[in-house]
Chain A
Amino acid sequence: SAVISQKPSRDICQRGTSLTIQCQVDSQVTMMFWYRQQPGQSLTLIATANQGSEATYESGFVIDKFPISRPNLTFSTLTVSNMSPEDSSIYLCSATSGQTYEQYFGPGTRLTVT
């Protein structure tokens, strides 16, 4: 299994600013993902973080709003840019290995935009 940590665990940000969330995995993984979740609701996939290349975004999400980096096999960042109150959510980092198939999740970053 993989252990995933995220920083920060929570933040309160002002409208119009940006926040970068860091995700660190304790072992090399094949794929990394970023999700958004409203408390008690389902997960919405934002993008797949690709090592050394541009992330693959899901419909409704764009790079200008959610730039993602993945410089190596164990680390990724998600930036939420030009934030509005609608961006208030829990952001989850996830990773999977080709050997095990299941996904592992970080504890999440609870973002509140005022």
Chain B
Amino acid sequence: AQSVAQPEDQVKVAEGNPLTVKCTYSVSGNPYLFWYVQYPNRGLQFLLKYITGDNLVKGSYGFEAEFNKSQTSFHLKKPSALVSDSALYFCAVRDGYTNAGKSTFGDGTTLTVKP
């Protein structure tokens, strides 16, 4: 079984400040972790992933995420937020061992960046 928790429904930050969107996961096998973003009235876009290797992964639009195995977390971060980063963010996990290809998505976190 696999699951994802995004403990914050909403995150609000001021433009130029750092942002963090939290994600914790549970998976019985090898975790493959993903972040996706959904802008208003748009489909989901892939941001970044952790499969193996360096715990700090970098993705699109200046976002990065750190895989922490001991805390089973994969928090999304950006050093300096932009108003255009305002969107709905989803964390997802799949079990790399089963090769079923099916990810479980979190409930989403709405990020609001204020000017």
Binding site for B on A (CB under 8 A): 1, 4, 30-31, 33, 40-43, 45, 48, 92, 94, 96, 98, 101-108
Interface flag for B102 (CB, 8 Å) = yes
Q: Which of B19-27, B40-48, B66-74 makes up part of the contact surface?
A: B40-48
Contact A105 B108 (CB under 8 A): no
How many chain B residues touch A (Cβ–Cβ < 8 Å)? 22
Between-chain CB contacts (< 8 Å), 8 pairs: A30-B101, A41-B107, A41-B108, A42-B108, A48-B101, A92-B43, A102-B49, A105-B43
Contact A42 B90 (CB under 8 A): yes
Contact B102 A108 (CB under 8 A): no
Contact B32 A108 (CB under 8 A): no
Contact A33 B102 (CB under 8 A): yes
Q: Which residues of B contact A4 (CB under 8 A)?
A: 43
Knowing A92-B43, A102-B34, A107-B43, the reply to whether A42 touches B107 (Cβ < 8 A) is: yes
